[in-house]
Structure 1
Amino acid sequence: MHHDRSLLSQVAIILVRPKFPENIGSAARVAFNMGVKRLILIRDELPEREPMAKMATHKAAHLIDNMEVYKTLEEAIAPFSIIIGTTARLGKRRAMEKTPREVVEKVIPDLPNNQLAILFGPEDSGLTNDELKYCRYISSIPTADFSSLNLAQAIAIHCYELYYQIVYAPHAYEPRPHIATSHELEGMYQHVEETLLRIDFLEEKSHTYWMNNVRQFLGRLRLTSKEAKIIRGICRQFLWHQGRDQSE
């Protein structure tokens, strides 16, 4: 049985291009209330501190002061092995989406040995498909007739589910091993993509479609760092042999 609040230290909230500094402060406040103390910002520049700190209040202002800021999402998520993307969108991804509770229940066994990032997109548009491709899980908050939750509310719901599952509803489980980080997986996907291009598997019109399917398939395998390196090694060797054959 787990009552280990230290698992929350494995969690980071990542805000992707938020428009209003006040929302960043509100995000810090609700995250801190639920025991999540790491906030990461994807933005070209850091907004003015005062409106962020005002909404964070003095209790969570230190999250603003210690916030990590990156210009690209890929750089920010590099050390994370488990990534949850949040969206209010429906459509083709509908079958993939889970509620925050369902997603949290899946990732709890990963937390002892893996870092978790939860991504939230801009207030008006949310995460793009290109950003969602990095996510192992897609979380969508069920609402009645239409979705009108603001950024802080969405963060509060996800952080509450994490806090509740860790502190008040502990499960007996076998912690899962460390799995490949986003940085390791992206390197692997680059080699897989290059290999598939070399054999003309990826047609120009369906390139993105097939690579997304490859990502989903390999993502379900929960590859370890060693396994991701093996796949990269196979691709490298194949590409090397292809290049050697063409030069002869």
Structure 2
Amino acid sequence: MTETVKLKNITIVLNQPRYPENIGAAVRAMRNMGIDRLIVVDPRDYDLEKIRKMATHGCLDTVAAIQRQTDLKAALESFHYVIGTTARLGGQRRTGKPDATAEKIVSISQENQVAVVFGREDRGLSNEELRLCHELVHIPTAEFSSLNLAQAVMIMCYELFNACVPSKPAFTPRMAQRRELDAMLDQLRDILIRISYINPENPDYWMHHLRQFFTRIQARAREVSIIRGLIRQVDWYAEKRYRDGRRDERNRIMGKGAAECD
């Protein structure tokens, strides 16, 4: 007996697609693989007639249910796990292959909402947008590499559709939503700047490894809440020590002045 990806918990996200035909073709690819949830972020051209034509008549219900968003970060806030697709390699990008990622998603998808994000046709996802993702996927090709957006969507959806693991799968609890994790990281960055642990001139550089760590460990919502509580306590204590120091210094100066008067 095996367990497969819970497809109803998978959402495809197209970030700033340029052509409505690609949106329609992506819908058709998704539906062939049993996935029917689509978010389109800030499309350049959202011509519904062209979208419907490429999606075909059998997918019109999915087209009608498309969620439109204006900002990628806001669109991903409610998801527990975010997969970003990228054609570029190197640098600090650690990427996996579609089949291995899909197999990993089997257990995660049972109790968590998963988003698979695709970037613009001409330049993909920016570095800042990739930081919103827990994991990056690269679709390997031969020397000639020019996948159409809908083709890339089909490959990822196909691998998710086929992925399975032998039972009994590992238990995966509800993970922190993307907005919960980002709020914690923003709070952590601010306190690390205040206590002079990281360089305030370039905090993103110093936060990169911490961001990778917290996304890699698949933090639970309760764990994120505990860490945020610890950060608030550190902030309170640092502020208290600062106020106590100012008071002691003021008392010292006043005491010195009184002694000189005597």
TM-score range (shorter-chain normalised) is over 0.9
Q: Contact (CA 8 Å) 1:46, 1:69: kept in 2 or not?
A: no
Is the aligned partner of 1:174 residue 2:170? yes
Residue of structure 1 in register with 2:199 after alignment: 203
Residue of structure 1 in register with 2:183 after alignment: 187
Q: Contact (CA 8 Å) 1:25, 1:51: kept in 2 or not?
A: yes
The alpha-carbon distance between structure 1 residues 45 and 88, as it changes in their structure 2 partners (threshold 3 A), is closer
Q: Contact (CA 8 Å) 1:82, 1:114: kept in 2 or not?
A: yes
The alpha-carbon distance between structure 1 residues 85 and 4, as it changes in their structure 2 partners (threshold 3 A), is closer
User: Which digits, 9 at most, give the CA deviation of each residue in 1:197-236, with x for residues without a partner?
Assistant: 1112221454222212111011122211110001111111
Q: Contact (CA 8 Å) 1:35, 1:163: kept in 2 or not?
A: yes
Residue of structure 2 in register with 1:65 after alignment: 64
Structure 1: distance between partners of 2:157 and 2:99: 10
Q: Which amino acid aligns with 2:38?
A: L
Structure 2: distance between partners of 1:69 and 1:247: 48
Structure 2: distance between partners of 1:8 and 1:42: 21
What is the total number of aligned residue pairs between the two structures?
Answer: 243
Residue of structure 1 in register with 2:55 after alignment: 56
After TM superposition, list the pairs within 5 Å mapping 1:15-164 onto structure 2.
Answer: 15-43=14-42, 47-94=46-93, 96-164=94-162
Q: Contact (CA 8 Å) 1:112, 1:175: kept in 2 or not?
A: no
Helix, strand or coil for the counterpart of 1:76?
A: helix
Helix, strand or coil for the counterpart of 1:15?
A: strand
Q: Contact (CA 8 Å) 2:20, 2:51: kept in 1 or not?
A: yes
Larger radius of gyration: 2
Q: Which amino acid aligns with 1:87?
A: T
Residue of structure 2 in register with 1:226 after alignment: 222
Structure 2: distance between partners of 1:130 and 1:22: 27
- Where structure 1 has 5 or more consecutive residues not aligned to the other structure, the ranges are none
Q: Contact (CA 8 Å) 2:4, 2:163: kept in 1 or not?
A: no
Structure 2: distance between partners of 1:115 and 1:40: 13
Helix, strand or coil for the counterpart of 2:11?
A: strand
Which stretches of structure 1, 4 residues or longer, exceed 6 Å deviation after superposition? none
User: Which digits, 9 at most, give the CA deviation of each residue in 1:103-130, with x for residues without a partner?
Assistant: 1111211111111100000000000110
Structure 2: distance between partners of 1:59 and 1:101: 28
CA drift of 1:241 comes to: 2.1
CA drift of 1:78 comes to: 1.3
The alpha-carbon distance between structure 1 residues 4 and 137, as it changes in their structure 2 partners (threshold 3 A), is closer
- Where structure 2 has 5 or more consecutive residues not aligned to the other structure, the ranges are 245-262
The alpha-carbon distance between structure 1 residues 105 and 93, as it changes in their structure 2 partners (threshold 3 A), is farther
The alpha-carbon distance between structure 1 residues 144 and 44, as it changes in their structure 2 partners (threshold 3 A), is closer
Q: Contact (CA 8 Å) 1:113, 1:175: kept in 2 or not?
A: no
Q: Contact (CA 8 Å) 2:176, 2:219: kept in 1 or not?
A: yes
Q: Which amino acid aligns with 1:201?
A: Y
